[in-house]
Amino acid sequence: MPFLSIVIINYNTRDLLQKCLVNLLSIYPEKEIIVVDNGSSDGSAEMVRNEFNEVLLIETTNNGLAAGSNLGLERSRGDYVLYMGTDAYPTSETVSGMIEYMEENNNVGISTAKLVLRDGTVDMDAHRGFPTPWAAFTHFTKINKIFPDSRFFNRYFLGGLDMKQPHEIDLCIAHFMFIRRVVFDRIGKWDEQFFLYGEDVDFCYRTKEAGFKIMYLPQFSVLHYKGVTVGIRKQTTDISTASQETRKKMKKETTRAMRLFYDKHYKNKYPKWLTGIVLFGIESLSRLREKGFFLG
C-alpha cells in the first residue's frame, strides 16, 4: 500500500485546523500528517502539541505558503504528497480512490478532486486554465460569465469540458493538490518568491512543462470552506479570523503574484506591446483592490 504524506500549512486557523485533523485521523491507514505552523498567534501550535500526538508539527516564522510547503516536503516520506488547507475536508473514499487512480495512471503527476463550497456550488478555482493574457482578459472583464461553456471565452475556468467525467486540466489550487513524489524529483520544490497566491499556478506550470498530466477527478469530492486564512473571499467572511492588516496584505499579494508569474513564464513569449498592456492591467487591478474592490 502506497504511503501518503499530508501536508497542511496553517496560519491562525486553530479551530478549523482542529476539525481538519480530527477528520484526517480516520482517513487512509498508511499516512503521516505534517502541520507547518507559520507563526500563528492564536494557539494553533499549542493545540496540535496537546491534542494530536500523531501529527508532526513544524513551527516556523511566516515566510509564506511556498516556504512552508517546502518545509513540509523536506520532512515528508510519502510516495504521494497531499497538500491541503485547514478548510478542506476529504472523505476516506476520496483519498483512497485518488491513490488508486494515481497508481493506475503513471503519467499523471498531479490530481485534484471536485471541491464543493459550503453552499453546495463547485469551486471552479480547482478547475483552471493557465492565466494567459486572453484568459485573464475574459475573466477580469467578466466575459467568461456570459459564455461559461465556451472554450474560447472561458479559458480561465476551462469552459466546455464535461464536469462529470475525469479530464485533464492546466492547474489546480494547493488547497487540495495530490502530487506524485517523482514530480518534485523532476522539477524541484515550490518557488518561494511567491508568498501567497501563484505558487500553485507556477508549480502546475512547471509540472506540465516536465511532461506530466494534471487531472480533475470529479468522482471524488472534498468540502472546501475557501479563503478562511486570508479573509478576502465573501464565502468565508463570516468565519475567517484574519485581521484587517492580513486582509489588506493578501489583496496586495494577489497582484504581486500575477506580476511574478508573468515575468517568469510569459514575458519572453509575448510581444513587448502586449506585455505593456498586461502589466498596466495588473497595476490597475492592484490599485482597485487597494481601494476595497476584490474583482475576481
62-85 pLDDT, tens digit per residue, is 999 999 999 999 999 999 999 999
Continuous H helices in 84-150: 92-104, 133-140, 143-146
| Residue boundaries of the structural domains of the chain | 4-127+163-241, 243-296
Considering the four listed CATH numbers 3.40.640.10, 1.10.357.10, 3.40.50.880, 3.90.550.10, the one that applies to the domain covering 4-127+163-241 is: 3.90.550.10
Q: What pLDDT sits at residue 235?
A: 46
Whole-prediction pTM value? 0.92
Burial class of residue 267 (count of CB atoms within 10 Å of its CB; 0-12, 13-18, 19+) = middle
Mean pLDDT across the chain: 93
In the predicted model, what is the mean pLDDT of residues 108-129? Answer: 96
Q: What pLDDT sits at residue 290?
A: 82
Task: Check whether 273 has a pLDDT greater than 50.
Answer: yes
pLDDT tens digits, one per residue of 87-100: 999 999 999 999 99
Lowest mean pLDDT among 43-57, 130-144, 242-256, 265-279: 242-256
> Following CA atoms 5, 10, 13, 16 in sequence, which dihedral angle do they give, to the nearest 10 degrees?
-10
**Percentage of residues of the chain with pLDDT beyond 70:** 92
Task: Give, to the nearest 10 degrees, the angle between helix 199-209 and helix 65-75.
Answer: 60
